[in-house]
Amino acid sequence: MAEESEAPAMTNPPRSLTLALKGIRTVSDFTRVMSSLMTDLLEGRVPHQIGNAVTNAGGKMLKAVELQEKYGTKGPSGADRSLVLADLSLAPPSLEGPAVTH
């Protein structure tokens, strides 16, 4: 049974990593990172497992944006939308977590 070899040390980081480290705040940022990831995968700069994980995480980011747009409430400026996933002030005490005592 052949063992998987470790990825060789890369002298140049993947282009998608360089872009992602700057942050993904807009659709343009997201598409730029994903496009670079595709190129990195095709060039062998990124292992396919990493590409798969990043793609899955990206899909979850897009879903969060979709839900925020659909169900979020407008902020004071009227333009910003915010989606509150859980309001812990309304949760029963048993869901707030254990009390910490020292």
- Beta-bridge partner residues of 94: none
Tell me, yes or no, whether 4 lies in a domain. no
1-23 residues labelled b (16+ CB within 10 A) or e (exposed)? eeeeeeeeeeeeebbbbebbeee
- Report how far residue 80's alpha carbon sits from residue 6's, in angstroms, rounded to the nearest whole number: 45
Number of domains in the chain: 1
pLDDT in tens, 22-76: 999 899 999 999 999 999 999 999 999 999 999 999 999 999 989 988 888 877 7
Q: Taking the model in full, what pTM does it have?
A: 0.66
Tell me, yes or no, whether 24 lies in a domain. yes
Tell me, yes or no, whether 6 lies in a domain. no
Query: Comparing C-alpha atoms, which of 10, 47, 6 is closest to residue 55?
Result: 47
